[in-house]
Structure formats: C-alpha cells, structure tokens
Structure 1
C-alpha cells in the first residue's frame, strides 16, 4: 500500500513539473517587452499600458483588414479578461466588416460561434478557429508595425492553441487569469 501511494505521489510530482516547465511565466520574453522594475525604477500601470499600446501599433495596407484585426484583438482581449459579453460584441464587429465577403467564410463562421454563446469555454474553442482564419488575412497585409503569433502548449488539454497580438507580452486568451502568461511568441509578422 505504501508503495502504491509513493508511486502515485511520484507521478503526480512529475506531471506537475512538466506542466510548469511547458507553461512557465515566459520571463525571458516579458523582459524584452517590459522595462526593468526595481525600487529605483517604478512604472505606473497607466504608463505601462500606454507604452504597450503605442509600441506595436500595426498599420495595414487596407482599412477593412485593419478594422477586422482591431475587432479580432477585441475578442482576444475580452477572452483574456474572461468577459464573454465583450467577446460577443467584438465578434459582431468582425461580422459587420466581412458581411458579403465569401472568401472570409471561415472567419464569419468562427465569429458567429462566438456570438452565439455566452459560455466562455465555447467561445475560446471558436476563437482558436478565428485565429486560424486570421492567418491568411494578416499575411502580407501589414504596411508597418509588427504582429506576434503566439502559442500556448497547454490549451485544449495539451493540443495547443495560437493567437495574434500587437504586443510581445503574453496575455493568454485560452486561460485568462488562470494562466495569464502561459505561452510564447512563435512568429513575428511584419
């Protein structure tokens, strides 16, 4: 009986270590995008937010793509904040921009799924499809700035999930506050 208990504790410790190793706080990436904070150099939250917003404001070759991306980031930010209602509103903005565009049907389908429910977990699953549909929209669409393709290896029970962001700082839309910094930047679009 002791051996079974000891083995169970051992395997639980290994599983916990693997989880932490695969989804650590991404300190190396955050240090690049955040100024040093110590007792001699403190930034207020407001100035940090302003710096992040202005640091990577991408501009697009056409206005419609810019508005679609803005609405997409609204969905992402709402999911980061665990706000299902705001995710629905931003998904509606995507649909308003692509009303009759049959080439963006996959984008519309994902946005419709997000709008159809207030269940944030269902929204997060649809957001994964939305992120996939955004890739061809974003490739080659930037006039200036950068967009970061980010990845969480723990999303969807270890299958992983991607999203796009205007900042290097990881803000995970698949887990929100539970694992806010889980993820890494996989690619930079410019």
Structure 2
C-alpha cells in the first residue's frame, strides 16, 4: 500500500495540474474577444501621495489590528516600526513621540490612550498629503477615552474598534471619507 502511494502521488498530482491547466485553456479559448476586466465595484488599492507616509500608514494598520485584538506585545512591535518610519517624515515629530509612548506603555489601556493622539496626528498628515488612489475612513467611537471619544483611520468601511477590541468591536461610526 505504501509503495502504491509513493508511485501514485506524482501521477495523481500531474493529472490534477493538467486538469486545472486544461480548464484555464478552455476558458481562455472559449471567447477570444472577451478581455479581462476588473469589476466596477472593486475598490482601488489604497496609495497615499507620500510614499514614506504610506509606509507609516501600513504600520499604523498593524498597530490598529493589534489593539483590536488586545495584543499589547504586537502593538509595541508595530509602534516601533511606525516610530522608525515617522522619523523620516517632515512634520511628524509629535507622531514619533506618541509612537514612543505606545512602545513604553505599561499596558493595553495606556497604549490605547496614546493611540488616540497618534491617530489625530496621522489623520492630519494624511489629509495634508492626500491620496493617489483608494479611500480612507475616519472612524469615531464616542465612548472611547472615558466618553471623550476617539478617532482612528481605517481602510475599511466596517468598524473594528481599537479602543475596546472584543468588548465593543463594532462601536463607532464613519465620520469622514478621505479620497
């Protein structure tokens, strides 16, 4: 039985690959006038005008995801990368300081409090820079920071609240769209 499996697996793999290839060939040959198009409803990929700010935003997304999950260690790692990238940005001195405070924070709640300041800074930087493509959403949770409210940036319309994580994952609303 074991010998059969050793001999049969390469043959079976070749048949599966050939079948997949034949199906693609049939699809491509069935209508030679049809061109590949992207669906009209597909959102454009997000691209900020400033490449360095774009890289910082990518780390901000990782930080946001870590806070949504309540993962303080991952939040520190993302904040460290964000801080390093922000050092290269003009006018991002406060962003660098705030990222450093997230790295030094004793717990997730202190990280979330500093995240509010970081988000406000980043929102201002993104608005000043602008986007080449895609959209960003400025989200707001009125209950964050002891009912003072807190903003954050998201590339999705759906709310994933970094201030409360699983406790109140969808608390908040989109306040503005940056395009």
Settle same-fold status: TM greater than 0.5: yes
Q: CA deviation at 1:70?
A: 0.4
Distance in structure 2 (CA, Å) of the matches to 1:103 and 1:86: 26
Equivalent in 129, 147, 156 of residue 158 of structure 1: 147
Is residue 79 of structure 1 aligned with residue 67 of structure 2? yes
Give ranges in structure 1 of 5+ residues lacking alignment.
1-53
Could you say which structure has the larger radius of gyration?
Answer: 2
What TM-score does the superposition give when structure 2 sets the normalisation length? 0.72
What TM-score does the superposition give when structure 1 sets the normalisation length? 0.68
Q: CA deviation at 1:100?
A: 5.0
Figure out how many residues of one structure are paired with residues of the other and give that number. 137
Give 4+ residue runs of structure 1 displaced > 2 Å after superposition: 54-57, 98-102
Q: Which residue number in structure 2 is paired with residue 128 of structure 1?
A: 116
Q: CA deviation at 1:65?
A: 1.0
RMSD between superposed Cα atoms in Å: 1.5
Matches within 5 A, 1:1-190: 55=43, 57-99=45-87, 101=89, 103-139=91-127, 140-190=129-179
Q: Which residue number in structure 1 is paired with residue 20 of structure 2?
A: none
Structure number with the bigger relative contact order (C-alpha 8 A, sep ≥ 6) is 1
Q: Say if 1:58 and 1:100 are closer, same or farther in 2 by CA, change over 3 A.
A: closer
Distance in structure 2 (CA, Å) of the matches to 1:162 and 1:152: 7
Q: CA deviation at 1:99?
A: 2.3
- Secondary structure at 2:163 match in 1: coil
Q: Deviations over 1:95-153 (max 9, x none)?
A: 11122546211101110011012400000000000001102211142100000000001
